[in-house]
Amino acid sequence: MGHWTLDDIPWDQFDRSKLDPEMVKIAKAACMVEHHSADYGKYLCGVFHDDPGFCADALAWAEEEVQHGAVLRRYAEFADPSFDFDATFARFVAGHPIDVEASESIRGSRCAEMVARCIVEVGTSTYYSALRDAAEEPVFKAICKRIAGDEFRHYKLFYTTMKRYRDIEGVGRLARAKVALGRLFESTDDELSYAYHSGVGEPDPYVRRRATLAYAARTLPLYRRDHVQRGVGMTLKAVGIKPQGRLGRIIAALTWLALRLYVRRLAWAKETAGTQQSPLRRAPA
Ligand SMILES: [Fe+2]
Ligand SMILES: [Fe+2]
C-alpha cells in the first residue's frame, strides 16, 4: 500500500476565497477518526493473530488511514490556524477507547469482522467521494480524491479476506446480512458525531443526539444518487446479493428515497427550530 504522500497534495493551490467553513469542520472531525485507526490495526492483528499475511496488510491499512488523518489535520490547520489537534484528539480518544488487547472479533467470527470492516470502507469511500464532488476549494478536493481512492482499495482488501474466511468458517448470507445491518445501524457507534463534537470545539457535556443530527445535517445533503448506488452495491456484494439483480436494484432505489426523505426532514427541522415542535424533537432520545 502507500501510493501517495502529503507532498503529492497541491498545497500551493489553496484558495481561501473558496473555503467552506463547514468543510473545515468536517475535515477536523474526519482527521481524528482516521488518526485513531492505528489502534484498529492492532486490534485486527490480535483477532487474526495466526494469519501473518493479513496482519501485515492490516498494519499497512492502518498506516494509510493514519496518513488520511495526517493530511486532513494539515488541511484543517492550514484553513484554521487556531485548530489545536493534540488537545482535540486527546479529548476524542478519551471518549472513544479501542480494545487493542482483543484476541477474538467483537463481531463473533473473522468473516463477520471482515463484513463489518467492508461496511466501514463502504461508508468512507462513499463519504469522501461525496466530499470530493461537493468541494470547491481545490486542495480539499484533491485530498478527498486521494483518500476516496484508498478507501475503495481498503474495501477490496477486506472483501477478499471476508470471502476467504466465509469459506473457512462457513458463514452464510443471512448471518453476513445481520452483521452488515448491525454495523450500519449500530446504536452505540457515534464515533463520527463525537469527533465532530470534539473537532468543532463544542462545549461539554456531549449530547449525542444533538451532535449526531448536527453532523448528519452537514454531510447527508452532499450525497448524490450515484454515490449512494455505488455504496449500496458494495454493501450487497459483501452480503452476497447481486447489486445488479432485481432485489439489489430495489434496495438501492429505496435507500436513495429514504436518504432524500431524511435529508428533507432534517432541513425542515432546522427551518422550524424554535418556531414549532419538529418531528426530530418529538422523536425519543
Ligand atoms: Fe481513511
Ligand atoms: Fe479505509
Q: Of 161 and 192, which is predicted with more confidence? A: 161
Q: Is residue 10 part of a domain?
A: no
pLDDT at 275: 53
Assigned domain for 277 exists? no
pLDDT at 174 over 70: yes
Q: Over pLDDT 90: what percentage of the chain?
A: 60
Q: What is the pLDDT of residues 67-117, one digit of tens each?
A: 999 999 999 999 999 998 998 888 887 776 666 566 666 777 999 999 999
* Residue numbers of the domain that contains 40: 17-221
Q: How confident is the model at residue 274 (pLDDT cuts 50, 70, 90)?
A: low
Residue 185 has a pLDDT of: 76
- For residue 52, report the phi and psi dihedrals to the nearest 5 degrees: -60, -30
Neighbours of 134 (CB within 10 A): 20
Residue 166 in domain: yes
Cα of 270 vs centre of ligand 2, distance in Å, is: 32
Res 119 pLDDT > 90: yes
- pLDDT, tens digit (0-9, with 9 covering 90-100), for 126-165: 999 999 999 999 999 999 999 999 999 999 999 999 999 9
- 99 in a domain, yes or no? yes
Return d(Cα 37, Cα 65) in angstroms, integer.
6
What mean pLDDT comes out for the span 207-229? 87
Ligand nearest to the CA of 117: 2
Could you tell me the distance, in angstroms and rounded to a whole number, from the CA of residue 9 to the centre of ligand 2? 18
**pLDDT score recorded for residue 108:** 78
Within 10 angstroms of residue 60's Cβ, the number of other Cβ atoms is: 13
CA of 147 to the centre of ligand 1 (A): 6
pLDDT in tens, 8-34: 999 999 999 999 988 998 999 899 889
* CATH number for 187: 1.10.620.20
pLDDT tens string 250-272: 999 999 999 999 999 988 877 77
- pLDDT bracket for residue 188 (50, 70, 90): very low
pLDDT at 196 over 80: no
Ligand 2 center to residue 64 CA distance, Å? 8
- Judge whether 249 lies within some domain: no
How much of the chain exceeds pLDDT 70, in percent?
Answer: 87
Question: Pick the residue with more confidence: 160 or 199?
Answer: 160
Nearest ligand to residue 118 Cα: 2
| Cα of 238 from ligand 2 centre, angstroms | 15
How does the average pLDDT of the chain come out, rounded?
Answer: 86
CA of 86 to the centre of ligand 2 (A): 22
Separation in Å, CA 192 to CA 27, 166, 182, 198 = 11, 29, 17, 10
Sequence-distant (6+) residues with CB within 8 A of 258 are none
From the CA of 34, how far away is ligand 1's center (Å)?
Answer: 5
Q: Please tell me the distance between residue 150's alpha carbon and the centre of ligand 1 in angstroms.
A: 7
Is residue 254 domain-resident? no
| Number of separate domains in the chain | 1
Residue 152, C-beta contacts closer than 8 angstroms, at least 6 positions apart: 121, 125
- Which of 89, 255, 54 has the alpha carbon at shortest distance from 159? 54
> Within a domain: residue 191?
yes
**CA of residue 189 to ligand 2 center, whole Å:** 17
CA of 33 to the centre of ligand 2 (A): 11
**CB neighbourhood size of 75 (10 A):** 27
Q: Is 194 a member of any domain?
A: yes
